[in-house]
Amino acid sequence: MKPFDDVRLRGFSHRTSVSDAWDWIDSHCQLLDEQLVPLSRASRRVLACDITSHVDVPAFRRAMMDGYAVRAADTRGATPSNRVTLRLIGHVFPGHPFAGDVAPGEALRIMTGAAVPATADAVLPVEQTELVGDQVCVLGDVPPTKNVGDIGEDVSRGTVVLSRNRCLRPQDLGLLSSIGIAGVPVVRQPRVRLIITGNELLPPGATGGAFQTVDANSPMLRAFVERDGGIVVDRAFLTADDPAAILAAMEDSEADFVLVSGGSSVGAEDHAPRVLATHGELAIHGIAIRPGSPAGMGRLNNRLVFLLPGNPVSCLAAYDFFAGRAIRGSAGRDRGWTYSRRQLELQHKIASQLGRVDYVRVRVTSQGVEPLSIAGASTLSSTTRADGFVIVPAESEGLPEGSSVDVFLYD
């Protein structure tokens, strides 16, 4: 077992690099098992296996527009001044195939999506005709196969229509339905327990009292977990910094992951790291990142535990860098950033420290991107005023004004 370094009231003697923390997460994070869910509940879930179609779509030749099913040869040379006349033999609608054939010199009125008889090889648009009694006057010709959807034109039997690890979009569900899939094999959603600690905290939505703070982290973390494909199964709200209560909350869960907010730093009542080290494994505590350096991670009862700082911006950064990476990976999603990015010119320099990763909130302007002047770990409103963030890598001492940077956008 790794020796426990109690940093309370002493500070960190060593901080793990972000890359080493990522390596630990990736080596301990496993893809969760497969489950079958109804098609109606499969949106945004991740496919656990390839989906192969066992049918052709469409399964029959169908009209691609309203008009007349004809033999293309019968329309050859037709123009408004050189009309060809065909005999109307009936009507056909979607879902009700025509019982007969289309013989030479005949036309069958057909609606979009209806089956085209085997002896017809084209659909003449209604705009190229005039109907006079039971005679169809052809005003323009059509080549063979024109306006006819062939068998398997959309999906061919035996083809892989969607590949494993795909996060299902609304149009994907439509495609699955079209090939007769009612139950979808998906990766099980990671179950997450939130433990919120701090004797100064009030529940979310409460009105702050004297010398107390309303919890902002649990609603934020819940939203992050759901964004990353997980599901929060329960929440423990501990208003007393008590090691026994913290341990009981960590152990009392069927979750795949436990996220502890608060009590991870160097204060006298920051008990979570010692609890995890004593009763499980504290693999990492203290990371070379700003904000979020008091973050830690380890294992207890075969589940991963992430210790997140109590200051809201530190909590946000530590979740996104570490806990979110693990949850995304176990859910079958890309472990990397979920944000879109733009490359923009930096309007003011960003100072940093060699060996430390900096998470810098920024605002996008018409001239490029500028860092927000507020850098505090407790000023959560700075993240709502920001358009995104810039990451200063550990091997850099900062980013100079005018440099081109990747901006990760919150929206």
Q: Is 57 left (phi over 0), alpha (psi -120 to 50) or beta?
A: beta
pLDDT tens track for 125-175: 999 999 999 999 999 999 999 999 999 999 999 999 999 999 999 999 999
Model pLDDT, residue 206: 85
Model pLDDT, residue 378: 62
Q: Do strands 398-399 and 191-197 pair parallel, antiparallel, or not at all (unpaired)?
A: unpaired
According to CATH, the superfamily of the domain at 62-149 is Molybdopterin biosynthesis moea protein, domain 3. (2.170.190.11)
- Average pLDDT for residues 203-207, to the nearest whole number? 84
Helix (H) or strand (E) holding 18: helix 18-28
Spatial contact of 319 and 221, defined as CB atoms under 8 Å apart: yes
pLDDT tens track for 97-120: 999 999 999 999 999 999 999 999
Topology classification of domain 341-409: Beta-clip (2.40.340)
- Average pLDDT for residues 182-196, to the nearest whole number? 97
Model pLDDT, residue 173: 98
Model pLDDT, residue 377: 62
Model pLDDT, residue 149: 95
**Can you tell me the distance from the alpha carbon of 178 to that of 181, in angstroms, rounded to the nearest whole number?**
8
Structure-block tokens of residue 408 = 């990760």
Kindly report which listed range (183-192, 207-216, 238-247, 273-282) carries the lowest average pLDDT score.
207-216
Model pLDDT, residue 38: 98
What percent of the chain shows pLDDT beyond 70?
97
- Average pLDDT for residues 370-382, to the nearest whole number? 77
Residue 7 has pLDDT above 80, yes or no: no
Residue 302 has pLDDT above 60, yes or no: yes
Residue 375 has pLDDT above 90, yes or no: no
- Average pLDDT for residues 220-241, to the nearest whole number? 92
* DSSP letters for 270-334: --HHHHHHHHSEEEEE-BSEES-TT-EEEEETTEEEEEE-SSHHHHHHHIIIIIHHHHHHHTTS-
Question: Coil, strand or helix: which one is 370?
Answer: strand
Domain ranges within the chain, ordered by starting residue: 18-32+189-330, 36-57+168-187, 62-149, 341-409
Topology classification of domain 18-32+189-330: Molybdenum Cofactor Biosythetic Enzyme; Chain A (3.40.980)
